[in-house]
Chains A and B, each alone.
Chain A
């Protein structure tokens, strides 16, 4: 039974690791603005509501709700965060005539990432 569990969790882990979670730069900026805005708005609403009903517990609950909404909106890579993908250089086919330029090009590709 334990062996079965190890195998299944190993497969699941590799499955999770293979799900693409990247966003492009404009998408990252958008995600950051979205979650900052949501948390700040829920913080002000929570503060005012807690002040009115005289219970600090409600302030915490409202901020927690804002946190959960932000998680749902910004953690998974929705398509709206992939609207401006980077334009990579086209792949240069491998040729044996240029052994010197190859390591330079692989260096360039690493920097772009």
Chain B
């Protein structure tokens, strides 16, 4: 500690260690928090088509179009350890050829400081709802649910399922729209 550089080195290393301990403390204060929030989903329109799918192994696959309403209040999730939320809405269903299918239809990133009350009306799905085959037609049970990834400042990234989902059957024939 005789020279300025030696003192500066010692001081800087100590500060970094203290900062690391504070970051760990920040993680510990929010590690076991429950990050679920009630979510309300409502579907207004579903349309089904059978189109050429160039990305799959077969000629034509089912393509669904969903128009939905979404409302949730995400304010309780944000605390001092949350940087942003990655929300995504997915559809889950079973077909004759595949036991479990999950397709992401819509997503959004909510940063800290932005409006946390989610209130969407008549939103069209962002991504194509292609099926691996022709399993969407006359499917009795397709479940839509909203989930999110919490991106923290320090710690683990939990994947949380919102506590609200809606199940709906798809139309019997192609090009036919069904309103709810």
Contact = CB atoms under 8 A, between A and B. Distances in A.
Q: In the complex, which range does the number of interface residues on chain B fall in?
A: 20 to 34
19 contacts: A22-B2, A28-B1, A28-B2, A31-B7, A35-B14, A36-B14, A39-B11, A39-B18, A46-B22, A47-B22, A51-B80, A54-B80, A55-B80, A56-B153, A59-B26, A60-B19, A66-B15, A67-B11, A75-B4
Contact of A71 (B3, B8, B26, B154): B8
Contact of B1 (A31, A54, A71): A31
Contacts of A66: 15
Q: Which 8 pairs show the lowest CB-CB distances between chains A and B?
A: A28-B1, A54-B80, A21-B4, A67-B15, A43-B18, A56-B80, A35-B11, A56-B153
Interface of A: 21-23, 28, 31-32, 35-36, 39-40, 43, 46-47, 50-51, 53-56, 59-60, 63, 66-67, 70-71, 74-77
A74 B7 contact: yes
Q: Is the interface of B mostly helix, strand, loop or mixed?
A: helix
Given A23-B2, A28-B2, A54-B80, A63 B22 contact: yes
Contacts of B34: none
A96 B80 CA distance: 76
Contacts of B114: none
Contacts of B179: none
A90 B12 CA distance: 38
A54 B112 CA distance: 11
A24 to B, nearest CB: 9
B25 A47 contact: yes
A56 B24 CA distance: 12
A75 B26 contact: no
Contacts of A75: 4, 7-8, 11
A54 B14 CA distance: 25
Given A21-B3, A31-B1, A43 B22 contact: yes
Given A32-B10, A71-B11, 6 more contacts: A39-B15, A43-B19, A46-B22, A47-B22, A70-B11, A74-B7
Contact of B22 (A59, A74, A76): A59
